[in-house]
Chains A and B, each alone.
Chain A
C-alpha cells in the first residue's frame, strides 16, 4: 500500500512536470543551440543560462511572452527586427511615460518605440547616473532600470548584425557594374570585401545618378558599422591567438573591429551565419546541422576552458528547474504533514507526507550536486547557495530524526516546513537571476569553502532545526501537553549545533589568518558567528547548571532562530567588513518582521505556559 502511494506520487509529479513546460513557438529544435557556450559575468556558460538571464531582466520571469527564453534569444539574434518590435517592456509609471513621450493609455512598449525617447533623455539619464544611487527617487530608479534593460536588449539585437541579410540590398546596377557576384542575401560582412570598389564607384558617380536606393544602401552600411561601436556584450568568440588565450572572450563585433580574428574564429562565425540563414528560413534540418557544427566548433577552440560536461549539465540544470519542483513537493508535504498532525490516527497522511518529502529531498540534493559539478566548488559560497544547503541539512536531519521516533508526524512536518521556508527564501534571493556566479577572489578557495563554510553552514542548519523543535515543544506545552520527552530530544541537536558552529568559527579564523593576515578582526560576520556560539554556550551551561528550567531552555533555544538570522542575514545589512560576498539590500524589512514574529511567538507561548503553571499552582493550593 505504501509503495503504491509513493509510486503514485512520483507519477503525479512527472505528469505535472511535463505539463508545466512552456509551449514552443518555433519548430526548430533548440536543444543543441542552448548548449553553445558564451562568456558572461566572468564565466563560460551555455546560451540557455544567458537566455534566462536576459528574459529575467526583461520580463521578471524565465520566459518571454509565453515562449521559452532560448527561443526569444534565437529570435533576438537572428531576426532582431521582430524582437525590437515586440512590446516587451511594461511601463506603468505615468511620469516615465510622459518623459519618454509615450502614449499614456498604453503600458507595453517595444524597443523601437522606446529608443527615441531614451535617446532624447540621455542627459537626464546621465545626470541621474552621476548621483549616488541612494539619492534616486522611485521614478528615477525605474527610469535607470528601464534604460539599462533597453540598452542590454539593443546591444543583444545588434550582436550579429553584420552576418544577417541586409534589409536594403545592393542596387542591381551597382552589382552589374562592379561585377559583384549575385547573392540571395548579402550581409554587411559579404559586402565589406567590396568596400573599396563600391566607394570608388559611388564617388565617381554624377550626383543625379546616385539613386535613393543607393543612398539608403550606403546609409545602412554606415549605420551597421556604427552599431559595432558598443560594449562587448555577447561574448561568444574564445580568443584564438596564443597570446590572448586565457583572456576574456570576444563579442563578434569586437573580434572584427579589433583584428583578433583568425582561421578558427572565421570558420566559427561562418557557422553562426549558417544558423542565421537556417533560422530565418525556419529550416529544421539545416538548423540542426548548423547548431551541431557550431557547438562542436566552439568546443574545439584550444585553451578556451570549455567543458562539454559542464555545459550539458548547466543546460539541464536550467531546463529541469529541479528546485521549483522540490518547492512544490515541500508545499504538498507541509499540507499533508499538517493534516497528519491534526488527524494522528489517519496513517495515510503520514505516508503521503513522507511520499512527497522523499522525492523533494532527492530533487533538492540532485540540484545541489549539479551545482557542485557545474561550478566545481562546494555549494555554500553565496547567500543563495547557503540557504539551499541549510535547507538540505535541515530537511535531511529532520528525516533522520523521524526514523528514530515512534511518532513520526512531527519531525516529518518539521522537515516539510523547513523545506518550504528555505525554498521560499532562496526564491527571493534568486529573483535577480543567475545564481551560478563567480566568487570574489578571496572566497574562491575550494579547500576553505569545503571546510569552514560547509561546517558553519551545516551548523546554521542544525541550529534552525533545533530552534524549530523548540518551537514545536513550546507550542505543545502552551496547549498543556507534556513535552519532557521532546525537550530531551532538543538537547542532542543543540550540542551538535554548538560543535559545528564552534569548529566552523575557528576554521574561519584560520582562513582569515591565511587570507587577511589576522585570526580575528571583529568583522560583522565573525561577530555573528561568535554570537551563535556564545548563545549556545550560555544555553547549554544554563541547562547543565539547572539555571534554565524546561520552559526557559525551550525559549532560549527557540530564540536561537533570531540569533542565526541576525548572524546570517543581519550582518549583510551593515555593508561593512571583508565578507563582501553576501551583501544584499532590501532584507531589513523582512528580517525585522521575522524577529518580531519570533519574539511575539516565543513571548506568547512563554506567557501562556507561565499562566497555566500559575493557575495549576493555585489549584493545587486550593
Chain B
C-alpha cells in the first residue's frame, strides 16, 4: 500500500514537473504571412476587339495595335482631373512612339466640347495630338466607356498589354503619366 502511495505521489509530481517545463513561455513558431491576399493570376483576360473611329475619321480595330501597349483614357472636357492628366499622357506618347498607343476616348455630349478642350491646351500638347500613336475617339452614347468597360466616372485609364490582355485599370487621376517611374513600370510590366 505504501509503495502504491509513493508511486502515485511520484507520478503526480512528475506530471506537474513536465507540465511546468512544457508550459514555460516559448517563442511562437514564426510563419510566413503573405503580404497581400492577391492570388497569382494564371492568365490575363483578353481585351475585346473594338471597331473605333477617331475624330480625324480614321477607322481601326483595337487589335490593330497588337505588339504595343495601349493606354485607353476615358475623359470629358468638363472633368478637372482629366484636364490635368491629358497633357501628361500626350507627353508619354511622344516618348514612346513605337511601343505605346494612346487612345483618348471622350464621353462629351458634343464634338464642340472636344474642340474647345483642345483649343485650351498648350501649344506643345496640341502639337502632340498629331502624333501617329495618339487617337481621340468620341463616344457620346458611351457605347465603349459604359457598355464595354463599365466606366461611369471619369477619368479612368485602361492599360492593355502588348499581347492585347487587360492588365490594369487606373481609377481617377492617381498617376503621374509623364513621370519616368510610370513609363519604366509600363514598359517593364506590360511590354512583352
A545's nearest neighbour on chain B, judged by CB, is B4
A302 at the binding interface (Cβ < 8 Å): yes
CB-CB < 8 A to B147: which residues of A? 266
Q: In the bound complex, do residue B42 and residue A261 qualify as a contact, i.e. CB atoms below 8 Å apart? A: no
Of B25, B150, B172, the contact of A265 (CB 8 Å cutoff): B150
A479 at the binding interface (Cβ < 8 Å): no
B158's nearest neighbour on chain A, judged by CB, is A262
Q: In the bound complex, do residue A242 and residue B150 qualify as a contact, i.e. CB atoms below 8 Å apart? A: no
A243 at the binding interface (Cβ < 8 Å): yes
Of B41, B142, B169, the contact of A259 (CB 8 Å cutoff): B169
- Given contacts A196-B76, A241-B168, A519-B23, is CB(A263)–CB(B148) below 8 Å? yes
A484 at the binding interface (Cβ < 8 Å): no
B154's nearest neighbour on chain A, judged by CB, is A259
Chain A stretch 290-331: residues in CB contact (< 8 A) with chain B: 302-303
CB-CB < 8 A to B78: which residues of A? 196
Chain A stretch 505-547: residues in CB contact (< 8 A) with chain B: 514-521
A138 at the binding interface (Cβ < 8 Å): no
A264 at the binding interface (Cβ < 8 Å): yes
Q: In the bound complex, do residue A514 and residue B166 qualify as a contact, i.e. CB atoms below 8 Å apart? A: no
A86 at the binding interface (Cβ < 8 Å): no
CB-CB < 8 A to A260: which residues of B? 169, 171
B108 at the binding interface (Cβ < 8 Å): yes
B61 at the binding interface (Cβ < 8 Å): no
Q: In the bound complex, do residue A259 and residue B156 qualify as a contact, i.e. CB atoms below 8 Å apart? A: yes
CB-CB < 8 A to B41: which residues of A? 242, 245, 302-303
In whole angstroms, how far apart are the Cα atoms of A518 and B29 in the complex? 10
Q: In the bound complex, do residue B42 and residue A266 qualify as a contact, i.e. CB atoms below 8 Å apart? A: no
Q: In the bound complex, do residue B152 and residue A192 qualify as a contact, i.e. CB atoms below 8 Å apart? A: yes
B43 at the binding interface (Cβ < 8 Å): yes
In whole angstroms, how far apart are the Cα atoms of A243 and B167 in the complex? 8
In whole angstroms, how far apart are the Cα atoms of A246 and B36 in the complex? 10
Shortest distance in angstroms between B77's beta carbon and chain A's nearest beta carbon? Answer: 10
Chain B stretch 20-72: residues in CB contact (< 8 A) with chain A: 22-23, 25-29, 37-39, 41-45, 47-48
Q: In the bound complex, do residue A193 and residue B146 qualify as a contact, i.e. CB atoms below 8 Å apart? A: yes
B139-174 vs A, CB cutoff 8 Å, 1 = contact: the mask equals 001100011111111001000000000111101100
Shortest distance in angstroms between A259's beta carbon and chain B's nearest beta carbon? Answer: 4
In whole angstroms, how far apart are the Cα atoms of A408 and B65 in the complex? 80
Q: In the bound complex, do residue B38 and residue A247 qualify as a contact, i.e. CB atoms below 8 Å apart? A: yes
Shortest distance in angstroms between A244's beta carbon and chain B's nearest beta carbon? Answer: 8
B10 at the binding interface (Cβ < 8 Å): no
CB-CB < 8 A to A200: which residues of B? 109
- Given contacts A246-B39, A303-B39, is CB(A517)–CB(B152) below 8 Å? no
A256 at the binding interface (Cβ < 8 Å): yes
Q: In the bound complex, do residue B38 and residue A259 qualify as a contact, i.e. CB atoms below 8 Å apart? A: no
CB-CB < 8 A to B166: which residues of A? 241-242, 262-263
Q: In the bound complex, do residue B146 and residue A242 qualify as a contact, i.e. CB atoms below 8 Å apart? A: no
How many residue pairs, one in A and one in B, have C-beta atoms under 8 Å apart?
A: 100
- Given contacts A196-B76, A266-B149, is CB(A520)–CB(B22) below 8 Å? yes
A610 at the binding interface (Cβ < 8 Å): no
Of B23, B107, B141, B152, the contact of A520 (CB 8 Å cutoff): B23
Chain B interface category by residue count:
35 or more
Interface of chain B, main secondary structure: loop
Shortest distance in angstroms between A529's beta carbon and chain B's nearest beta carbon? Answer: 14
In whole angstroms, how far apart are the Cα atoms of A156 and B53 in the complex? 41
B102-118 vs A, CB cutoff 8 Å, 1 = contact: the mask equals 00000111000000000
CB-CB < 8 A to B25: which residues of A? 517-518
CB-CB < 8 A to B42: which residues of A? 302-303
- Given contacts A242-B168, A246-B38, A246-B39, is CB(A193)–CB(B150) below 8 Å? no
A585 at the binding interface (Cβ < 8 Å): no
CB-CB < 8 A to A517: which residues of B? 25-29
CB-CB < 8 A to B44: which residues of A? 242
Shortest distance in angstroms between A555's beta carbon and chain B's nearest beta carbon? Answer: 24
Shortest distance in angstroms between A271's beta carbon and chain B's nearest beta carbon? Answer: 13
CB-CB < 8 A to A261: which residues of B? 149-151
B19 at the binding interface (Cβ < 8 Å): yes
Of A247, A262, A518, the contact of B169 (CB 8 Å cutoff): A262
Shortest distance in angstroms between A254's beta carbon and chain B's nearest beta carbon? Answer: 12
A455 at the binding interface (Cβ < 8 Å): no
CB-CB < 8 A to A515: which residues of B? 28-29
Q: In the bound complex, do residue A245 and residue B156 qualify as a contact, i.e. CB atoms below 8 Å apart? A: no
CB-CB < 8 A to A357: which residues of B? none
Q: In the bound complex, do residue B23 and residue A521 qualify as a contact, i.e. CB atoms below 8 Å apart? A: yes
Chain A stretch 230-270: residues in CB contact (< 8 A) with chain B: 240-247, 255-266, 269
Shortest distance in angstroms between A522's beta carbon and chain B's nearest beta carbon? Answer: 8
Q: In the bound complex, do residue A256 and residue B38 qualify as a contact, i.e. CB atoms below 8 Å apart? A: no
Shortest distance in angstroms between A474's beta carbon and chain B's nearest beta carbon? Answer: 30
A167 at the binding interface (Cβ < 8 Å): no
Q: In the bound complex, do residue A266 and residue B43 qualify as a contact, i.e. CB atoms below 8 Å apart? A: no
In whole angstroms, how far apart are the Cα atoms of A193 and B146 in the complex? 7
Chain A stretch 484-519: residues in CB contact (< 8 A) with chain B: 514-519
CB-CB < 8 A to A519: which residues of B? 22-23
CB-CB < 8 A to B148: which residues of A? 263, 266
Give the one of B27, B108, B149 with max A CB within 10 A: B149
What 6 additional pairs, Cβ within 8 angstroms, besides A196-B78, A259-B151?
Answer: A193-B146, A242-B166, A257-B153, A266-B146, A515-B29, A517-B28
- Report which B residues bind A (CB closer than 8 A): 19, 22-23, 25-29, 37-39, 41-45, 47-48, 76, 78, 107-109, 141-142, 146-153, 156, 166-169, 171-172
Query: Can you report 18 residue pairs joining A to B where beta carbons are below 8 Å apart?
Result: A192-B142, A193-B142, A194-B141, A196-B76, A196-B109, A241-B168, A242-B41, A242-B167, A245-B41, A246-B37, A256-B150, A260-B169, A262-B169, A263-B45, A265-B150, A303-B39, A518-B25, A519-B22
- Report which A residues bind B (CB closer than 8 A): 189, 192-194, 196-197, 200, 240-247, 255-266, 269, 302-303, 514-521
Sorted from nearest, which 3 A-B pairs have the closest CB atoms? Answer: A261-B150, A517-B28, A246-B39
